[in-house]
Structure 1
């Protein structure tokens, strides 16, 4: 006799499977939800990132800042081909081109600038309604001058080259040096023909040559002639930045990138709390890069670079304490 299927048993089994499917779907949703919302923290502040165009640099910046701010912020890259979001969320601008691009689209956009010079920030900071924070990448000239003093303790006079238009870069420094037992002169050169004769006069005056971040003077076309002339006179160049130390400058102070990223993170946290960025400023910590080969060729005893940085920090600290 042929067995007859039990219809009720099939229906009960089908109902049981249906219930299990519902429970399974609910479980999968619970498991997938954190993955779907990864990096988009509840209650986090949205920050858009206007990149420098160097993907490796931009990703490094984002990672460094995320390490400091944690889940408090959602950092979202902003395509250079798109307009700013209309919600006025703050923008982290990496480098001068990104900074200028953002503010040219909207001068009132809250923007935090990183890897930019003070001079560029000042151009936009004075415009009405601007909401700008910044961590400058350049080094205060007084710190560069004291870097030279830490290497040459006997130095009392500093020479500087400038064009007519760039001479004002050194004006704040000239007012500061007397407090540190130093004096300085700016020597003006406006043409290629004037450069070497003016440099020779500068080297006759100064114990060392101090360079601001002035592309009119310190550029690939001029630097070889400046360095060779200085070496022949047994004089050193301090500054203007790390790349010139590799080219033949004896030393330069610089801000380590993790320190700049840390201060950028602090500025973002301040914005989250108050709705305003802190005023633009220099990093709190600096290091020194040196060219040991140049020091040997000029027979200059070169302290450890950490000792140089510590000496400069101590001199500046004592100066601030003495002025209070």
Structure 2
């Protein structure tokens, strides 16, 4: 298929206008195809439905925007940004149009592989999750077994009291929580509350983002905005040029951030930056370009 000059890209969001302007500006610089970029708030997206064509692309910022777009009988395709894989899979179940995405966080096997090399305790790893994510427990258990781990799952309601009760319960048999991107579970400061609780119990979390590391988690494998945008552009241009949708996935370039205080307090010896790159294909936060 030749380049479709009539296609438009709609960026649907529910965030600060300055952040979206910055995102669309960066996106316009990276795109090699001249295509209109239109920013639309969630609350006004319904008013734009009649303008959409089948070749148009809707880029959603965050899981709420993805759910919002998926709830309408729309045209075009949707590509989700700043969303976890498990959030995406749950919301995608009811999506009305073809979808793809660029996931935040990192693949489970990569996280487990690194964890196995620095965390000697083989007690079950705790997986806490809400109704807003899709967790394939059996598949995850098989993956964890490859690295010598067992998993303990607990679904919880996404409110502070229920989450903290669940954390206390699940950590009776586990020393570590392996957290996924779960926006509903960790909103309104709940993540910080959990990390404070873990600190007092001398237990830890492997977080899904650098923000979790700054707040007190052991480490996180994640991608930066530049890598996410590069993956988004690849999907946009492939669709605009060939009319084909690249499946949802993580960006190619991932980095790892460690919390030095938590690392020291647990007596962990970290692999070198070169080893992280050679064995895990991870850029050390201190040496990322």
- TM-score per shorter chain, which class? 0.7 to 0.9
- 1:134 to 2:101 alignment: yes
- 1:177 to 2:144 alignment: yes
Q: Distance in 2 between matches of 1:178 and 1:270?
A: 37
Helix, strand or coil at the partner of 1:181: coil
TM-score (normalised: structure 1): 0.67
Question: C-alpha offsets along residues 48-91 of structure 1, whole Å, 9 cap, x if unaligned?
Answer: 22242333332333333334332x13132143334131433422
Aligned to 1:75: 36
Aligned to 1:37: none
Q: CA RMSD in A?
A: 3.5
Helix, strand or coil at the partner of 1:246: helix
Q: Which has the higher helix share?
A: 1
Select the structure of larger CA radius of gyration.
1
Aligned to 2:11: 50
Q: Distance in 1 between matches of 2:130 and 2:70?
A: 29
Return the structure number with greater relative CO, CA threshold 8 A, min gap 6: 2
1:227–1:249 CA contact under 8 A, matched in 2: yes
Question: C-alpha offsets along residues 244-303 of structure 1, whole Å, 9 cap, x if unaligned?
Answer: 211111111112221111111111121123213112222222111221122233333334
TM-score (normalised: structure 2): 0.74
- 1:243 to 2:211 alignment: yes
1:47–1:91 CA contact under 8 A, matched in 2: yes
Relative to structure 1, the CA distance from residue 306 to residue 260 in structure 2 (aligned partners, 3 Å threshold; closer, same or farther) is: farther
Structure 1 residues 1-324: aligned runs within 5 Å: 44=5, 46-52=7-13, 53-70=15-32, 72-80=33-41, 81=44, 82-84=47-49, 85-95=51-61, 96-123=63-90, 125-126=92-93, 130-152=97-119, 154-162=120-128, 169=135, 171=137, 172-186=139-153, 191=162, 194-195=165-166, 197-203=168-174, 206=175, 208-214=176-182, 218=186, 222-223=190-191, 226-232=194-200, 234-303=202-271, 307-308=275-276, 310-313=278-281
Helix, strand or coil at the partner of 1:201: coil
Aligned length: 268
